[in-house]
């Protein structure tokens, strides 16, 4: 179950309303936080310390300092309880933004300037403020997919990896898929495994689960070596961002990927291909990646038909029947079983009802 959205209470003067509004929109887009914007504006007769006390009803407090909100003379005794002691006692994180050339007390930390929305957002997300100076290319990507949910393209996978490192604090997690020569079923299974999801249903059900899971979270999905036809099923909306590249980085060996490549190509000697299919069946069964197992068995069955290998045709058909039965598709399983038995079993079958 998803945690409730955090609330943030900004404390600001009416003259700083537009800056406060821009900040609220920025934080709500990228930090999964609900901002009490209207409640945070100081009314006639109110002062900043009193507004900060009102803010203690929220999960987070952000105080906007400006010449309009700060008294010209502000003894420590007038603000220390409201801005330091009481939030600390209540376990309420509080941060401060300097909107102009005013000079807030240095003991109030963390402090940000009006040009540090991204650093403030990272604080809201629970990270210690981190100095960040991305180069121009990474900054463009940051505006497109880190400051808000979105999708962007880049030529090089190395740049995508650099971006993921530089902007890691803006995401709940970063996940990379190498799309080269892989089916949608295999890519969905790979992403599910990275997310820790056990996807045991058919591909349509798995894609629905992935969409629901990813769109509710601030993930970055990197699609390396994206084909000409973009797999729209893996471009998630909601809070999720996507970064696509034209090439891919070198990765370590993956037994399952090697098996899937062998089965898709079917250029290997028949005994080697059968060994790969059986090994893949074992790996995918153990991992609960049943849609990929079904695809693998279909490929093996088609190859066995070309080879006229009746034993493998029977073996792969039995596996497919078991899978569709586990998916609750009983009628389809009965049709497949009748076809298998009529072709490979010794006894004559009566037509099924």
What is the predicted pLDDT for the residue at 266? 80
- The residues near 75 (Cβ < 8 Å, ≥ 6 apart) are none
Using a pLDDT cut of 70, give the percent of the chain over it.
97
Q: Which residues lie closer than 8 Å to 323 by C-beta, 6 or more apart?
A: 290, 293, 294, 297
Task: Tell me if 349 is assigned to some domain.
Answer: no
Q: Using one digit for the tens of pLDDT, what is the confidence trace for 303-330?
A: 999 999 999 999 999 999 999 999 999 9
Q: Is 42 a member of any domain?
A: yes
Same-domain status, 14 and 116: yes
DSSP helix/strand/coil, 21: helix
Q: Does 102 lie in the same domain as 20?
A: yes
Question: In 3D, which of 28, 79, 29, 75 has the Cα closest to residue 52?
Answer: 79
pTM, full prediction: 0.88
Tens digits of per-residue pLDDT, 61-91? 999 999 999 998 999 999 999 999 999 999 9
The whole-number pLDDT of residue 350 equals: 46
Give the per-residue pLDDT at 340: 87
| Rounded mean pLDDT, 286-310 | 94
Q: Has residue 55 got a pLDDT over 70?
A: yes
**How far is it, in rounded angstroms, from Cα 229 to Cα 214?**
21
**Structural domain ending residue among the three candidates 96, 124, 152:** 124
pLDDT digits (tens, 9 = 90+) for 58-69: 999 999 999 999
Residue 250 within a domain: no
Cis status of the peptide bond prior to 110, with omega within 30 of 0:
yes
- In the chain, what percentage of residues exceed pLDDT 90? 82
pLDDT tens sequence across 87-135: 999 999 999 999 999 999 999 999 999 999 999 999 999 998 777 789 9
Alpha helices in 288-329 (DSSP H): 290-307, 310-326
Domain end residue (candidates: 95, 124, 153): 124
Regarding whether 71 and 26 lie in a shared domain, the answer is yes
Q: Does residue 351 form part of some domain?
A: no
Q: Is the dihedral of CA 9, 15, 16, 20 positive or negative?
A: positive
Q: Which two tokens stand for residue 100?
A: 């102009």
Return the pLDDT at 339: 86
Instruction: Output the average pLDDT for the chain.
Output: 92
Supply the range of the domain harboring residue 60.
Answer: 6-124
């Amino acid at each position: 179950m998803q945690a409730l959205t955090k609330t943030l209470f900004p404390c600001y003067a009416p003259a700083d309303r537009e800056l406060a509004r821009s900040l609220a929109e920025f934080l709500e887009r990228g930090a999964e936080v609900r901002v009490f914007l209207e409640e945070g504006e100081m009314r006639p007769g109110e002062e900043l310390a009193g507004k900060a006390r009102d803010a203690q009803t929220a999960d987070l407090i952000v105080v906007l300092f400006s010449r309009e909100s700060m008294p010209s003379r502000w003894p420590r005794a007038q603000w220390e309880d409201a801005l330091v002691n009481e939030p600390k006692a209540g376990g309420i994180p509080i941060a401060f933004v300097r909107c102009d050339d005013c000079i807030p007390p240095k003991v109030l930390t963390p402090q940000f300037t009006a040009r540090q929305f991204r650093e403030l957002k990272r604080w809201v997300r629970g990270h210690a403020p981190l100095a960040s100076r991305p180069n121009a290319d990474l900054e463009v990507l940051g505006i497109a997919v880190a400051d808000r949910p979105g999708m962007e393209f880049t030529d090089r996978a190395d740049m995508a990896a650099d971006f993921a490192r530089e902007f890691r604090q803006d995401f709940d997690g970063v996940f990379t898929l190498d799309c080269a020569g892989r089916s949608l079923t295999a890519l969905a299974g790979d992403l599910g495994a990275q997310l820790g999801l056990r996807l045991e249903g058919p591909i349509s059900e798995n894609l629905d689960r992935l969409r629901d899971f990813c769109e509710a979270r601030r993930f970055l999905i990197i699609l390396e070596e994206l084909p000409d036809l973009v797999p729209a099923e893996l471009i998630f909306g909601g809070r999720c961002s996507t970064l696509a590249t034209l090439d891919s980085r070198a990765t370590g060996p993956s037994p399952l990927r090697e098996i899937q490549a062998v089965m898709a190509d079917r250029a290997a000697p028949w005994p080697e291909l059968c060994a790969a299919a059986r090994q893949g069946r074992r790996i995918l069964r153990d991992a609960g990646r049943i849609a990929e197992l079904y695809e693998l068995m279909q490929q093996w069955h088609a190859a066995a038909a070309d080879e006229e290998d009746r034993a493998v045709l029977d073996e792969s058909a039995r596996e497919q029947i078991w899978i569709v039965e586990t998916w609750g598709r009983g009628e389809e399983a009965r049709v497949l079983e009748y076809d298998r038995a009529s072709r490979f079993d010794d006894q004559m079958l009566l037509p099924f009802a």
